[in-house]
Structure 1
Amino acid sequence: MTLFIHLQIKPIAQIQFRNEWVEMMKTEFPEALIFEADSHSEPFVISQGVSFLKEAEKVVLCLDSNQNEKLGSCAPLIEKVFRNKAIAPFILIQGENAMFEKMAKMMKKEVFKCESVEESLVQIRNFLNH
């Protein structure tokens, strides 16, 4: 199974319930499971994402973030993605997040900047086809 994880790390007032990136991924990769959460999600929701991770063969993690926002309830899921030895995730970030980037650096994970939905689509296709 291919798992797309889309996490919004933003103040609650800025959380979007429709997202262009997610819509494009649903269209382009209909067989993939898409998991969405935000830094204010309930722990139960995050634990669902962790359980999906256990079944995934390929993982794409996309973080949509504000610079100084705390990872909040998403931190355990992000850590599981980084520590999972069975998969090498493809990691994208829209915006910046100092804490996330520090974690990625510590875990020696490459993070790609998401300049546009179209560009990320090309990068994800390349990742999934290898």
Structure 2
Amino acid sequence: MPINAAEIQSKLDCQPSLMLLDQVVVLDKDKQIIAQKSVSANEIYFQGHFPNNPVMPGVLLIESMVEAAKLMWDEPDLVLTQVKRGRFREMVKPGMQLTIKVIAKEKYSCQAEVLIAEKKACTADLSFRTE
């Protein structure tokens, strides 16, 4: 059953301007999550990144994976402690549909990727700790 943006916002307790996930399409608690994000030209970060060539900042791609991991573990207070093997492979531009996949390796450690039509845009291994 999909989780919509309003439910994501209540689970993560974040403001809409900071929330990067639009919906969760697959959730296997503590194991994996698949979420989606529609990248809109109206997003505030496109105003200066970059003039006449809007590109979604890489740190926000990482943040989308972090948000998905927090939902997967149902731990909104997780703190990101490490990003390993982070790779940015494709530029994300307005109008693109992103799929965010996170697979748990062990407690609070995961492999994550952002895909554009099955093509990897960003990949990383993420580690967290609880507050």
Structure with the larger helix share: 1
Structure with the larger strand share: 2
Q: What's the TM-score once normalised by structure 1's chain length?
A: 0.30
Q: What's the TM-score once normalised by structure 2's chain length?
A: 0.30
